[in-house]
Amino acid sequence: MSTWAARLENPLSARLRDPATTGFAGIFLGAFAAFLAIPPIEARAFVWPIVVGIVAAALGIWTTTRGRRRLGWGAVVSGLLGIGLGILATRSGTENLKSVFDATLIAQTFGLATPLVFGAIAGTFSERSGVVNIGLEGMMLMGAFWCIYGADKGGTWVVGLLLAAGVGGLLALVYAFFAIHLRSDQIVGGTAVNFLALGITGYFFVQLYHNAQIPNGVSLLPNVHFLSGVKFFGAAIGDLNVLTWASFVLVIVAYFVLFKTPIGLRIRACGEHPRAADTVGINVYAIRYGCVVLSGMLVAIGGIYLSEGPQGNGTFLFNMTNGRGFIALAAMIFGNWRPAGAFGAALLFGFSSAIALRLQVYSPQAGTLFQALPYVLTLIAVAGVIGRTVAPAADGKPYAKQ
């Protein structure tokens, strides 16, 4: 009550002295310290990142003494990282810096994040309804392979997309039957799905294409062209893939469905307390089946991007996903089982992959360790160092009807 009264008396200065404000300002300044040294600002004197970083750390220390310890230490770390990265950037060549940080970095981030966004949203649906989906990796792999087959035989990527979603949904249906009706352990079932997908895609890749010979000119996912010629934005978002735009739409739709509609309330009820949901007349099995199948279809569509997107360019490789399904799982956990959080985490992981690819201008190996970053961050997140992630209460627990 008293704090509100104080704010009413002197709103602006009270806000500025609020530890939450100073803490977030410190974190932001820490990031800004590193940002100063890279294009487009590109300060070449290393004193600038140091000054801004010290201000950030000072704000952090102020915040810790005002009670928000965790936030404060976050700001201190952010400031120190900003100083370190900023100095590193001023020491490196201008040409290299330009090739790492340009407008296409944004486009590449969105591109690399696309399968992760689909996978993370798919996982969110499944786990919000109470079914853990470790099999995302396998379902994504199925999508990557069968869309090529569909596009090759059907003549257009639309057929490929439909076939991929169908096969992904079918595999998810098999998994759902074991996880829901037979109440088998969901981690074991998901592991089985990953093995099965690896075997099935590998088998048919040999059987249908002799391990390599996918014909050239398979219909690919088109890019959406606009803003051509506009500085920065043209390169950043003017040439994104149609699936990337679809992933943005998916995040918004998923948020509204899960949190603003009756069906979303039912899904979440099944994930938190299936017995209560059953008592008020919700068909827990039907909701869970629906969510798992939807999850399989979505993650398979995400897999399409790997083979039919701009990077895949109509090729398939054995075990093409190479852990991206698990990164999507990590993004879902890191995003705390929420569509917006999952989207943010997927973008962060996509950004780290893009940086990893671009750091090769410094040395071929510099980027490799960067690939582990999503997993390290998720490990830190589940350890609860920076705010604990909380899974749905009934996540992974089979439900027996009465």
Partner 1 sequence: MTDPGPSPAPEQAAETGTLAARLALKQRAGGIVVPIATVVLAFLMSGLVVLATGHNPLLAYRDIFRGSGLNWVFHPTTNILDISAYNLSQTLLQTTTLILTGLAVAFAFRCGMFNIGGQGQYIIGIVVANWVGVDFGGMRPLPHILLAISAATFAGAAWAGIAGVLKATVGAHEVISTIMLNWIALWGAEWLFGDGGPLQNATQPFVPVSDNVAKSAQLPVFWGAQGFQGLDIGIFIALAALVVFWALLNRTTLGYEVRAVGFNPDAAAYGGINVKKNLIRAMAISGAFAGLAGAVDMLGYLYHYGQLDIPVSQVGFLGIAVALLGRNTAVGTLFGALLFGSLAYGTTHGLNTGSVIQPELAGNLTYIIQGLVVLFVGADVLILYVWNSRKRLRPRQAPKSARSAKAAA
Shortest distance (Å) from residue 255 CB to partner 1: 23
Cis peptide, bond prior to residue 40, ω within 30 of zero: yes
Q: Measured from the CB atom, is 90 or 194 closer to partner 1? A: 194
Distances in Å between the Cα of 348 and the Cα atoms of 5, 23, 43, 60, 130 are 39, 21, 25, 23, 26
Q: Measured from the CB atom, is 339 or 398 closer to partner 1? A: 398
CA distance 242 to 219: 14
Shortest distance (Å) from residue 343 CB to partner 1: 20
Site string for partner 1, 319-338 (x = CB under 8 A): x--xx--xx-xx--x-----
**Residue 119 DSSP symbol:** H
Shortest distance (Å) from residue 279 CB to partner 1: 10
Q: Measured from the CB atom, is 291 or 394 closer to partner 1? A: 394
Among positions 17, 69, 225, 401, the unique one binding partner 1 when judged by CB under 8 A: 401
CA distance 133 to 280: 26
Shortest distance (Å) from residue 238 CB to partner 1: 33
CA distance 373 to 177: 35
What does the block give as tokens for 216? 């050239």
**Residue 110 DSSP symbol:** H
Among positions 80, 162, 192, 242, the unique one binding partner 1 when judged by CB under 8 A: 192
User: Backbone phi, then psi, for 299, in 5-degree steps?
Assistant: -70, -30
CA distance 81 to 88: 10
Q: Which residues within the stretch 167-186 sit at the binding site for partner 1 (CB under 8 A)?
A: 174, 178, 181-185
Cα Rg of the chain, angstroms = 23
Helix pair angle (373-383, 324-334), 10° resolution: 30
Q: Which residues within the stretch 114-133 sit at the binding site for partner 1 (CB under 8 A)?
A: none
**Residue 372 DSSP symbol:** G
Among positions 96, 99, 191, 315, the unique one binding partner 1 when judged by CB under 8 A: 191
Q: Give me the amino acid identity at 210.
A: H
Q: Is 195 in the site for partner 1 (CB under 8 A)?
A: yes
Q: Which residues within the stretch 197-226 sit at the binding site for partner 1 (CB under 8 A)?
A: 197-200, 202-207, 211
Q: Measured from the CB atom, is 2 or 365 closer to partner 1? A: 365
CA distance 304 to 143: 5
Among positions 52, 57, 59, 134, the unique one binding partner 1 when judged by CB under 8 A: 134
CA distance 326 to 303: 12
Cα 54 → chain centroid: 32
Q: Is 187 in the site for partner 1 (CB under 8 A)?
A: yes
Q: Give me the amino acid identity at 196.
A: L
3-state secondary structure of 240: strand
**For residues 280-311, b (16+ Cβ closer than 10 Å) or e, as one string?**
eebebbebbbbbbbbbbbbbbbbbbbbbbbbe
Shortest distance (Å) from residue 181 CB to partner 1: 8
Shortest distance (Å) from residue 372 CB to partner 1: 4
Q: Measured from the CB atom, is 6 or 383 closer to partner 1? A: 383
Shortest distance (Å) from residue 188 CB to partner 1: 3
Among positions 43, 77, 158, 196, the unique one binding partner 1 when judged by CB under 8 A: 196
- As beta bridge partners, residue 224 has 240
3-state secondary structure of 327: helix
Q: Which residues within the stretch 28-67 sit at the binding site for partner 1 (CB under 8 A)?
A: none
Q: Which residues within the stretch 359-388 sit at the binding site for partner 1 (CB under 8 A)?
A: 363-365, 368-369, 371-372, 375-376, 378-379, 382-384, 388
Site string for partner 1, 248-287 (x = CB under 8 A): --------------------------xx------------
Q: Is 3 in the site for partner 1 (CB under 8 A)?
A: no
Q: Measured from the CB atom, is 8 or 182 closer to partner 1? A: 182
Among positions 22, 63, 133, 194, the unique one binding partner 1 when judged by CB under 8 A: 194
Q: Is 400 exposed, middle or buried (0-12, 13-18, 19+ CB in 10 A)?
A: exposed
State the Cα angle at 295 between 309 and 274, rounded to 5°.
Answer: 165
Q: Measured from the CB atom, is 261 or 279 closer to partner 1? A: 279
In the complex, the residues that contact partner 1 under the rule CB under 8 A are 134, 174, 178, 181-185, 187-189, 191-200, 202-207, 211, 274-275, 319, 322-323, 326-327, 329-330, 333, 363-365, 368-369, 371-372, 375-376, 378-379, 382-384, 388, 391, 397-402
